[in-house]
């Protein structure tokens, strides 16, 4: 895979085509919206889907952790699909999370699907993880007033599951993506059973009033388009 460099708040981060972010200066890996045990949550509601989403998601996460070898792993909320997800997580998958926590500092950002820390699993937790000029949280604070120490930081967040649709010679493709400008980045959802919200939806585009760029995930590289380009192509 060929990660793409991006500068935010003066820091160089690497956008991984697998959908994770790596910050070399801090040896920090961030991943958003794992939604572990979404399959079992759906089964509880009578929707029969293959129950392997947690295994598939953690297969990919373990691979990227092994590639980047971070000192810090930050999960940006909605790591579990619901409050009871940790209790339903198979033992083998829980052990994989414990191995990640044994090799790196693991921080669980709390999300709207998982507003409490995962019981029985190691790691720190909180609403925001702050380091240097960056604040890692689940949902963007947008234009809401913040304490001064937070307002001075750029934010890395998840929640919206951004995706972008591009028309090419071969047809129209829709892919999960990073969306970013110099002060804010929304990461793609990493979970195997996660959908997406179009980057032109006001919930996303409204967070980038001066424009931004979408980095669509490919099998080996990212494909970058300005939000204005995507809007023009869709009209």
pLDDT band at 221 (very low <50, low <70, confident <90, very high): very high
Report helix, strand or coil for 198.
strand
Q: What share of the chain is helix, strand, coil (3-state, %, to 5)?
A: 25, 30, 45
Ordered by start, the domain boundaries in the chain are 4-234
pLDDT of residue 149: 56
pLDDT (average), residues 71-97: 96
pLDDT of residue 148: 53
Distance CA 152, CA 135 (A): 9
Q: Could you tell me the fold of the domain covering 4-234?
A: Purple Acid Phosphatase; chain A, domain 2 (3.60.21)
Which CA distances in Å does 185 have to 10, 27, 71, 153? 13, 18, 21, 12
Q: Largest Cα–Cα distance of the chain, in whole Å?
A: 50
* Averaged pLDDT of the chain: 91
pLDDT (average), residues 83-105: 96
pLDDT of residue 104: 98
- Using the predicted structure, report yes or no on whether residue 23 has a pLDDT greater than 60: yes
Distance CA 201, CA 166 (A): 15
What six digits make up the tokens of 19? Answer: 């959908």
Number of helices followed by number of strands (H, E) in the chain: 7, 16
């Amino acid at each position: 895979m060929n990660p793409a460099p991006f500068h935010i708040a003066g820091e160089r981060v690497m956008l991984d085509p697998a959908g994770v972010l790596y910050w070399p200066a801090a040896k920090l890996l961030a991943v958003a919206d794992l939604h572990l045990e979404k399959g079992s949550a759906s089964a509880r509601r009578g929707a029969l889907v293959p129950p392997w989403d947690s295994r598939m998601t953690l297969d990919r996460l373990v691979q990227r952790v092994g590639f980047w070898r971070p000192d810090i792993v930050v999960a940006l909320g909605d790591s579990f699909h619901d409050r009871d997800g940790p209790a339903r997580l198979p033992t083998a998958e829980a052990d994989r999370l414990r191995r990640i926590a044994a090799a790196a500092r693991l921080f669980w950002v709390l999300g709207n699907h998982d507003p409490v820390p995962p019981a029985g699993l190691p790691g720190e937790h909180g609403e925001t993880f702050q380091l240097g000029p960056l604040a890692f949280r689940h949902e963007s604070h947008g234009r809401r007033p913040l304490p001064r120490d937070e307002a001075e930081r750029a934010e890395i967040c998840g929640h919206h599951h951004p995706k972008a649709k591009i028309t090419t010679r071969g047809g129209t493709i829709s892919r999960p993506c990073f969306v970013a400008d110099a002060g804010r980045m929304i990461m793609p959802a990493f979970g195997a059973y996660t959908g997406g919200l179009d980057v032109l939806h006001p919930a996303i585009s409204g967070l980038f009033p001066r424009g931004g760029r979408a980095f669509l995930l490919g099998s080996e590289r990212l494909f970058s388009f300005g939000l204005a380009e995507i809007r023009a192509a869709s009209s």
